[in-house]
Chain A
Amino acid sequence: MKRLILLFLGLCLLGCKAAGQFAERGLGEIVGEEKAESIIKVAEAARKGFEDLTPQEEYYIGRAVSANILQKYTVYENERFTCYVNKVGMTVAWASDRPETYGGYHYLVLDTTDPLAYSAPGGFIFVSRGLVALMKNEEELAGVLAHEVAHVSQKHGLSAIKQSRLMDAFSILVAEGKKYSSDEVKKLAKIYEGTLDDIVTMLVEKGYSRKQESEADQFGVLYAFGAGYDPKGLTSFLDILQKYEKETSEIGLIKSHPDPGGRGAALKQYMQQEDMGGRTEQVRTSRFELMKKMVG
């Protein structure tokens, strides 16, 4: 037993030393090539699902998913309004359980009257002018953005990637050598394209699962509440959306974020259980109204 403790503590020391120098000297030089090889084998075998994608991979998937979304819509080019949305978005992202992603959170406004909201892996978040036009105050905007941040923090987009694609990708990634051959790059690009299709199809056509929506709602109100917003912003907007769904045949947002009525009721119950309450500050509503006038 003592030997085991000694071995463990010794390895802790070795590990700490290795940790400090890994970035500069490479793993092999620190723990020896044989151990490095062993670590890599274990790490490769450990990659089994979307949760094992690295922050950098998530970022590159998010970039291309965003490019695909932006192919369908025009960007609303209003620096002041975009800046305002980014400030609200940053405020709720900072209150999240994953405030830093590989490339950070970024927000853009789509120039369409359809009420839409999308989030791509890694933190690329889109809302439409049409969605903002339905809102009454900053609390509702914060609630919606916090909901989208939750889809990112909980990796809901990545969960759409078919398992077989990931296994194909991981099998190429474990190949010998530090650099890819051009053939490997081509194969990986093909798999990359497949993963993007899986995510875009879910975001734009199929929508998230009911469980994921409920999770994003609950995390969303927690983030908004943590940031200092009235958490009722999201439930209030879900009521608006439910009314909108009844009055129009527009299904853009409803398709990707289904059943606003049922979700709103469940969320109100959750907030009551958690004793979450807050106040809508007039100063925030006033600045939101000023910004909304710009959007038209």
Chain B
Amino acid sequence: MKKIYLCLLLLIGSLLWAQTLTIKVKETRVRSSPKFYAKSIYRANRGDTLEKMGEQKGWYEVKIPSGDVGWVHSSAVETKKLKLDSGEWVETEATPEEVALAGKGFNMEVEAEYKRNHPDLDFTWVDRMESIEISEEEMVAFLKKGKLGEYGGEQ
């Protein structure tokens, strides 16, 4: 009987324990509502952890360091369970690959070596391409004018 109580206690404890999400993309924004063009309230970088408060249609509600609550898209974070050799399961927010290969894999160091071997290849436009930024205000104006997304109505 004691074991059953303990079991229930652990179950309740695990449900109450706030889940932590880790950012898996280079950089993302925590937004004031679950929309990509909603106001950005926090900039999160790869490896940052955020406490999950809830979820809605592909978005997680999270608490940011200031204590405020915002929304981050599920494709920017990851939660996976890892199986140990013993058969036990441990839950981490990182994928198995990310755990094993933190700082490894095809990375900046490998790109640098590739560039050394190919001095004819120019990455300037790749960098410039990545630096193109369109503000939330511009996107909202674009969507509104074009009657797209929530401003379209019919679809």
Contacts and interface: CB of A to CB of B under 8 A. Distances in A.
Interface residues of A, number: 95
Contacts of B93: 19, 22
Chain A interface SS verdict (over half): helix
A44 B88 CA distance: 17
Interface in B11-56: 11, 13-14, 17-20, 22, 24-26, 28, 36, 46-49, 51
Interface in A29-50: 31, 35, 38-44, 46-47
A108 B120 CA distance: 21
Interface stretch (A182-190, A207-215, A240-248, A256-264): A182-190
B143 to A, nearest CB: 7
A87 B134 contact: yes
Contacts of A174: 100
A38 B105 contact: no
A38 B84 contact: yes
Interface string A99-112: 11111101110000
A14 B26 CA distance: 27
B96 A39 contact: yes
Given A63-B123, A71-B121, A225-B155, A100 B28 contact: yes
Contacts, number: 256
B147 A44 contact: no
Interface string B113-143: 1100110111101100110101000110011
A38 B113 contact: no
A57 B106 contact: yes
A189 B92 contact: no
B105 A15 contact: no
Interface in B76-132: 76, 79, 81-86, 88-101, 103-111, 113-114, 117-118, 120-123, 125-126, 129-130, 132
A21 B155 CA distance: 43
A203 to B, nearest CB: 15
B22 A23 contact: yes
Contacts of A14: 90
Contacts of B25: 55, 100-104
Nearest to B75: A100
| Interface hub of B22, B79, B155 (most chain A Cβ within 10 A) | B155
Interface in A199-231: 225, 227-229
Contact of B120 (A10, A71, A95, A103): A71
B113 A64 contact: no
Contacts of A164: none
Given A19-B91, A22-B22, A91 B142 contact: yes
> Closest 3 CB pairs between A and B?
A15-B91, A43-B96, A43-B100
8 contacts: A2-B7, A39-B100, A47-B97, A60-B106, A71-B120, A83-B132, A106-B129, A174-B100
Given A15-B89, A19-B79, A27-B99, 8 more contacts: A9-B7, A39-B100, A43-B100, A53-B97, A67-B126, A71-B120, A102-B24, A173-B104
Interface of A: 2-3, 5-24, 27, 31, 35, 38-44, 46-47, 52-57, 59-61, 63-64, 66-68, 70-71, 75, 82-83, 86-87, 90-91, 94-95, 97-104, 106-108, 124, 138, 169, 173-174, 178-180, 185-186, 188-189, 192-193, 195, 225, 227-229, 278-279, 281, 283-284, 287
